[in-house]
Structure 1
Amino acid sequence: MKTVLITGSNGFVGRNLSVFLAQRKNLKVTGFDVDDDQSALSSLVAGADFIFHLAGVNRPQNVEEFTSGNTGLTQTIVSLLQSQGKSTPLLISSSTQAAQDNLYGISKRAAEDAVFDYGRQTGAPVYVYRLPNVFGKWCRPNYNSAVATFCNNIANDLPIQINDPTVTMSLVYIDDVVSSFIAALDGMAAVQDEFCQVQPVHTARLGEIVALIRSFRESREDRRIPDMSDPFTKKLYSTYLSYLPTDQFSYPLKMNVDERGSFTEFIKTPDRGQVSVNISKPGITKGNHWHHTKNEKFLVVSGQGMIRFRKIGSEEIIEYVVSGNKLEVVDIPTGYTHNITNTGEADMVTVMWCNEMFDPEKPDTFFEPVELSHE
């Protein structure tokens, strides 16, 4: 069994990596963090078959901590490996700031140099990642991630401050970072000009990110689902949900209730239509209308009933028995007037999907009874 050491194991990236690696039965994962006994580091390094060095300092109490927490700790790990005569593969999470001449960037660049030197001197595989902004679940808000701060504050109805909404951010998602790290562990890192790459890198203006996050909050009111076909939106929405207050995971829907039962819209999408939940009382028939282009799918999940169809211009009635005991989707084709009747003794619950959101200006819904009167 291979032993993997993660420094910074309680941090944002380290915590996510630890959870992923714990699912691999052929690995033993050990961790080291800033609060741990420093004397334990030597034995942890000695026992590791692969080291993820993710510990670092980016918001120090004093500037000297940049050197000790970034450069110094890295040099300590490298010195321990060399003194132990080891050539253990070493991965370090650096920052795109390492290309800058600020104090943080200088300390990260010196840490990179220590790792590259270790690789050249020992022949050990080394993996240096200059990460841009990383976002995802478990990132600490109001610390070093604007995305985490915006998600947390908007989800918790707290104020946010945007200094320049036109600033373009480069971001990588935590799951993509972890996948790239695991690829390095498996000897399949993507390397370009000495540095390992995480793909994809998403770019977005600060103002656009905030607008998206605000739309996530508003989606509970208008029941719209974000555009999940866009990879960045999908990842940002998942991130936002992780910051919801624990007493606000649920939210109410507007139930349209009358003596027949109820009709409640669940979710809406601009390109995939909407889903609603229909509850019918025993003996109640709903529908008796048809559509030119609009189409639907009905799924009875509780109770029992009958769906009837009649093609416009025809007298033939087609019947489908439906029941929550046998989940079966019934398509509602265009050009057929249709209705659904609760034939049981309890409420009948039907999940209804429509291919488009309801447009009161163009409802495409025309009343006509399924059963014709021959009086």
Structure 2
Amino acid sequence: MKKILITGANSYIGTSFEKYMAQWPEKYQVDTVDMIDGTWREKDFSGYDTVFHVAGIAHSDTGHVSEERKEFYYKINRDLTFETAKKAKADGVKQFIFMSSAIVYGDSAPIGKSKVITKATMPSPANFYGDSKLQAENAILPLQGEGFNVVVLRPPMIYGKGCKGNYTVLSKFATKLPIFPYVKNERSMLYVENLCEFVRLMVENEEHGVFCPQNGEYTNTAELVKMIAEVHKKKVLAVKGFAWALKILSKVTGLVDKAFGSMSYDMRISEYKENYRVCGLMESIERVER
């Protein structure tokens, strides 16, 4: 039996993973430890095969944040990650899996531009959130070796039932709007159960390295809204001609490029020796919306 410790209680990814792994009670034992106070430092990590570190702060508005708040991002996303990884290695844990993000490659391309991340693309964070994640990666990757495997995951936008963020906003639009602006864009996404299966395979195969999992299909924002609406037996008309207005709006808020900009992984860097995509795009939307 593989024993896995999730460091970070009540996180969306952590709770989703724990629920997903309950399918195999005879193969995996999954425990969780809260990282909010310092009591986790007293916990003995020995006996666990893997520490899955999901504790961290996600960004909201990175344009209006105090220096104190920025430092807090580094304290949690970088320093806490490094401290946890060092403890895991010192306690004899065999593997440390860190939830990084595609944000280490910077922001989405603006409307009308493309951005495809390939094997040759170097990380280039656009803000302190992405930099805090990249600095965490750079701190823990040298710990690899001596029976200690380090896995860094750089997923694109994660979505699933009960998730927060851009997907939830688009879902609301899909159920309330009869029309939606069509902009030619391409985005990588990752359904949470596909992520969970990928993490399971990382544990099972005792992997190490940097990985960029994604769904097997790219998405277009307007087409995604139409698919969500379809699940709810509604029809949304994707209308062209709004790109100019959205470009102007993007000067005011970064949310526009997050929704309508392009950012995708070359599919080749997301392939793995075993299939981790437990369901396709349409099926995943059905699971989320029903």
Coarse TM-score class (shorter-chain normalised) = 0.5 to 0.7
Gaps of 5+ in 2: 105-122, 236-278
Cα deviation for residue 198 of structure 1 reads 2.4
- 2:289 corresponding residue in structure 1: 240
Cα deviation for residue 168 of structure 1 reads 2.2
Counterpart selection for 1:134 from 141, 150, 158: 158
- 2:134 corresponding residue in structure 1: 109
Cα deviation for residue 77 of structure 1 reads 0.5
Cα distance, 1:152–1:82 mapped onto 2, change above 3 Å: same
Q: Which runs of 4+ in 1 moved over 6 A?
A: 159-164
State how far apart, in whole Å, the 1-side matches of 2:84 and 2:179 are. 39
Mapping of 1:1-375 within 5 angstroms? 1-23=1-23, 24-35=25-36, 37-59=37-59, 62-84=69-91, 86-98=92-104, 99-101=123-125, 102-120=127-145, 122-140=146-164, 145-152=165-172, 154-155=174-175, 157=176, 165-187=183-205, 189=207, 194-219=209-234, 231-241=280-290
Cα distance, 1:27–1:160 mapped onto 2, change above 3 Å: farther
Are the aligned partners of 2:188 and 2:215 in contact in 1 as well (CA < 8 Å)? no
RMSD: 3.0
Question: In the comparison of the two structures, how many residue pairs are matched?
Answer: 220
Cα deviation for residue 104 of structure 1 reads 1.3
State how far apart, in whole Å, the 2-side matches of 1:42 and 1:32 are. 11
Are the aligned partners of 1:4 and 1:27 in contact in 2 as well (CA < 8 Å)? yes
Cα deviation for residue 113 of structure 1 reads 1.6
Cα deviation for residue 71 of structure 1 reads 0.3
State how far apart, in whole Å, the 2-side matches of 1:3 and 1:214 are. 40
Residues 207-256 of structure 1 deviation map (CA, whole Å, 9 limit, x = unaligned): 22122222322359xxxxxxxxx931221222122xxxxxxxxxxxxxxx
Higher helix share: 2
Cα distance, 1:74–1:111 mapped onto 2, change above 3 Å: same
| TM-score when normalising by structure 1 | 0.52
Letter in 1 for 2:73: F
Letter in 1 for 2:154: R
SS at match of 2:187: strand
Gaps of 5+ in 1: 221-229, 242-375
Higher strand share: 1
State how far apart, in whole Å, the 1-side matches of 2:131 and 2:53 are. 18
Percent of pairs with identical residues = 21
Are the aligned partners of 1:30 and 1:44 in contact in 2 as well (CA < 8 Å)? no
Are the aligned partners of 2:96 and 2:148 in contact in 1 as well (CA < 8 Å)? yes
Cα deviation for residue 164 of structure 1 reads 7.9
Cα deviation for residue 3 of structure 1 reads 2.8
SS at match of 2:226: helix
Are the aligned partners of 1:150 and 1:160 in contact in 2 as well (CA < 8 Å)? no
